[in-house]
């Protein structure tokens, strides 16, 4: 079982520090583009593109409406509005560890 020590989801990207089942400390950092790749891989976002300034533009679906609404959001707006929690970080750490285990 992984234990999250710290995580940060910000305009700079995503970083996480956790201890794995062997009690080893792991620290990972992702820039915004790598974070988008990671989030797309784990289905947190549906996809992304890059604008002419090199900023990710996130494709999302808001399922809170009766009929889901699909739209685009600039990276900085996405970071400010997405309700990223410790549970998200925990699931990502577990998936990374599972991937490393099978590799």
Give 60's pLDDT tier (boundaries 50, 70, 90): confident
* 18 closest CA partner among 29, 8, 4: 4
Residues 6+ apart with CB under 8 A from 9: 35, 79, 82, 84, 88, 89
pLDDT of residue 22: 81
pLDDT(74) > 60: yes
Cα(first)–Cα(last) distance of the chain, in Å? 18
pLDDT(82) > 90: no
Q: Lowest-pLDDT range, 9-13, 41-45, 62-66?
A: 62-66
pLDDT top residue among 66 and 56: 56
Question: How many whole angstroms separate alpha carbon 67 and alpha carbon 17?
Answer: 37
* 73 closest CA partner among 84, 64, 83, 82: 82
pLDDT(65) > 60: no
pLDDT(38) > 60: yes
pLDDT top residue among 56 and 64: 56
pLDDT of residue 18: 93
């Amino acid at each position: 079982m992984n234990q999250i020590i710290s995580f940060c989801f910000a305009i700079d990207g995503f970083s996480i520090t956790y201890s794995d089942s062997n009690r080893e400390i792991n620290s990972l950092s992702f820039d915004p583009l790598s974070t988008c790749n990671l989030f797309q891989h784990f289905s947190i976002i549906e996809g992304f593109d890059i604008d002419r300034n090199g900023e990710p533009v996130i494709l999302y679906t808001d399922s809170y409406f009766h009929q889901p609404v699909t739209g685009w959001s600039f990276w900085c707006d996405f970071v400010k509005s997405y309700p990223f929690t410790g549970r998200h970080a925990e699931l990502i750490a577990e998936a990374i560890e599972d991937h490393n285990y099978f590799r």
